[in-house]
Structure 1
Amino acid sequence: MVSFRTIAALGLAATVKADNILRFVSTDSTERTIYVTPNAGVEGHDPVTVAAGATVDVTLCASFIGNAYSISSGAANVPGMLAEVNFQGWNGLTYFDVSAIVDAADHDGVHLMYPAESQTPTSGCETFPCNNAYYLADDIQTKTTQETIIIVTLGSGSNSTSAKRSDASEGENFARNLVTGKN
């Protein structure tokens, strides 16, 4: 027989929101440092190192909105391709995109973003340039998901996960202000 306490505990566990995670997956032989840049008033995260071929999870606060970029070992800390995300955004969805606006020539850092479980939709490219990333401020390229674990591939190598991704994503696109929080 199941007690009321057990049922209550199970109900409480079911209502606890999953962590917001950016899962950085290195697809080549380069070590990188990941810098997370939150929007004003949002809690950020200390830089983390992703070893060559490794996977590192970065857990972010509820309703996190901001971006992350990677710097290859030995390179100057100059932002390039951005992994932009808004967890628990409008309608409780996760909004994400790969943005080439800062430096479209950065082909060593962020490549693809997609939900961990469904693996669709995708944002970004296996090979740059492609038509599935932001290049201009008014591009309509932001993707949405209900998931709260987002894969971010780093580097131009392929692995079993990133090799399945295409440069033409499925799903509807949204305006960039939904991921940046700026109109």
Structure 2
Amino acid sequence: MFSFRNIAASVLALAISAQAQNTVTFVSTDSVDRTIYITPSEGVEGMDPVTVAAGATVAVNFASGFIGNAYAVQSGAENTPGMLAEVNFQGWGGMTYFDVSAIVNPNDVDNVRLMYPAASPNTPISGCDPFPCNNAYYLPDDVQTKVTDQTNIIVTLGGGSSNATTKRDINNSNNGKNYPRNLVENRY
């Protein structure tokens, strides 16, 4: 029997399933096992650490509106924050804001390297391969945050080669427009 109620329920179910899943995909590019520590902003739900084996790819799903960062610690090393992969899903205008930040420890050059949208790996991109470069945060007032409508962000780990990074110069002007840091911190 044809029913508008059944159609409405089907449309609602389809709309819910079509909502974007917020994902950060960690890609190990070398032979080092790492633990990823995820630190949410105040008032945002936290997550357990994630292990990324050498050469592995691990996708981590985040709640709608997640704001925070992640850093990697090599197996056997002390848990000390280093290079940060910062992200704000469903930020201002519903967009995803992200950047690689060297503010905490600019000497951590063998863990978090690059961040970019999975569906368009050529732009925008944040981070360096290798460090240092002019495409990461070094000072709190740097203007280096990137923006995308994508909700799956790749974060490369380690000093190995990744297919997404070998075919372009990450220091060129094709890396997308830069935005102020307040957008990744959800301060408009």
- TM above 0.5, yes or no, is yes
Given the alignment, which residue of 81, 84, 97 partners 1:82? 84
Q: What's 1:147 paired with? A: 150
Shift of 1:44: 1.6
Question: CA offsets, 1:73-101, max 9 Å, x none?
Answer: 01000000000000000000000000000
Asked if 1:138 corresponds to 2:138, the answer is no
Where does structure 1 differ by over 3 angstroms across 4 or more consecutive aligned residues? 2-8
Q: 1:165 to 1:149 in 2, by over 3 A?
A: farther
Mapped partners of 2:129, 2:88: distance in 1: 23
Given the alignment, which residue of 49, 57, 60 partners 1:58? 60
Asked if 1:124 corresponds to 2:127, the answer is yes
TM-score by length of 2: 0.90
**Matched-pair identity in %:** 62
Mapped partners of 1:134, 1:103: distance in 2: 11
Q: 1:73 to 1:143 in 2, by over 3 A?
A: same
Of 58-67 and 163-172, the range deviating more from structure 2? 163-172
Q: What's 1:97 paired with? A: 99
Mapped partners of 1:134, 1:83: distance in 2: 11
Q: What's 2:185 paired with? A: 180
Q: What's 1:110 paired with? A: 112
- Within-5 A mapping of 1:63-74: 63-74=65-76
Which secondary structure does the structure 1 equivalent of 2:145 belong to? strand
Given the alignment, which residue of 47, 50, 70 partners 1:48? 50
Does the Cα contact within 8 Å between 2:82 and 2:106 map onto a contact in 1?
A: yes
Mapped partners of 1:87, 1:132: distance in 2: 21
Unmatched 5+ stretches in structure 1: none
Shift of 1:10: 5.1
TM-score by length of 1: 0.92
Q: What's 1:22 paired with? A: 24
Shift of 1:8: 5.6
Shift of 1:171: 1.4
Q: 1:180 to 1:165 in 2, by over 3 A?
A: farther
Unmatched 5+ stretches in structure 2: none
Cα RMSD of the aligned pairs, angstroms, is 1.9
Mapped partners of 2:38, 2:19: distance in 1: 22
